[in-house]
Amino acid sequence: MFKKVLVPTDFSSYAHKMQECLADMPGIEEVVLLNVVDGGNPMNLEKKGWSYDSLIDEADTRLAEQADHLSRLGEKGLFVRPLLRIIVEPMSGADGVDMKRLLPKSGLDLIEGGSVGEAIIKTAAEEKASLICMGAQGRGLVEGMLLGSVSTEVLRKGQTDLLIIRHKILESSKDGEHELFCRDIFSKVMLTTDFSAAAEQAISLAREMVGVREILLVHVIAKETDFDEAAKRLNLLREELAGQGKKITVHVLMGAPAEEILNLAKSQDVSLIMMGSVGKSWSRQIRVGSTTFDVARQALSPVMVVRPKKS
Do residues 49 and 10 share a domain?
yes
pTM value is 0.87
For the residues 2-28, what does the mean pLDDT come to? 85
Whether residue 181 lies inside any domain: the answer is no
- Looking at 155, 176, 197, which one is the last position of a domain? 176
Please report, for residues 43, 125, 174, 181, 281, the alpha-carbon distance to residue 148 in angstroms, rounded to integers and kept in the order given. 19, 22, 22, 17, 26
Same domain, 34 and 153: yes
The yes-or-no verdict on residue 172 having pLDDT over 50 is: no
Q: Are residues 139 and 111 in the same domain?
A: yes
R_g over Cα of the chain? 21
Instruction: Indicate the residue type of 51.
Output: S
Task: Kindly state whether residue 311 falls inside one of the protein's structural domains.
Answer: no
- Compare 32 and 18 and report the one with higher pLDDT: 32
Q: At 243, is the secondary structure helix, strand, or coil?
A: coil
What pLDDT score does 311 carry?
Answer: 55
Examine residue 201 and state whether it is found in any structural domain, yes or no. Answer: yes
Instruction: Tell me: do 135 and 156 sit in the same domain.
Output: yes
Residues 203, 78 share a domain: no
Domain count, the chain: 2
Q: Do 35 and 163 share a domain, yes or no?
A: yes
| Residue 77 pLDDT class (50, 70, 90 cuts) | confident
For 118-167, how does the pLDDT look when each residue is reduced to its tens digit (9 = 90+)?
999 999 999 999 999 998 764 444 434 457 788 889 999 999 999 998 76
**Structural domain boundaries enclosing 234:** 188-306
Last residue of a domain, one of 176, 206, 221: 176
Choosing from 122, 144, 176, the residue where a domain stops is 176
CA-to-CA dists, residue 279 to 72, 213, 241, angstroms: 39, 27, 21
| Any domain includes 183 | no
Q: Same structural domain for residues 113 and 197?
A: no
- Any domain includes 137: yes
Whether 242 maps to a domain, the answer reads: yes
Calpha distance 262→83 (Å, rounded):
35
In a domain, 170, yes or no: yes
Q: Of 204, 210, 217, 199, nearest to 270 (Cα)?
A: 217
Q: What is the pLDDT of residues 187-203, one digit of tens each?
A: 899 999 999 887 888 99
190-239 pLDDT, tens per residue? 999 999 887 888 998 888 888 888 999 999 999 999 999 999 999 999 99
Per-residue model confidence as pLDDT tens digits over 262-279: 999 999 999 999 999 875
Q: Are residues 194 and 167 located together in one domain of the fold?
A: no
The long-range contacts involving 65-68, CB below 8 angstroms and separated by at least 24 positions, are 66/9, 66/11, 66/16, 66/19, 66/33, 67/33
Instruction: Give the domain CATH number at 83.
Output: 3.40.50.620
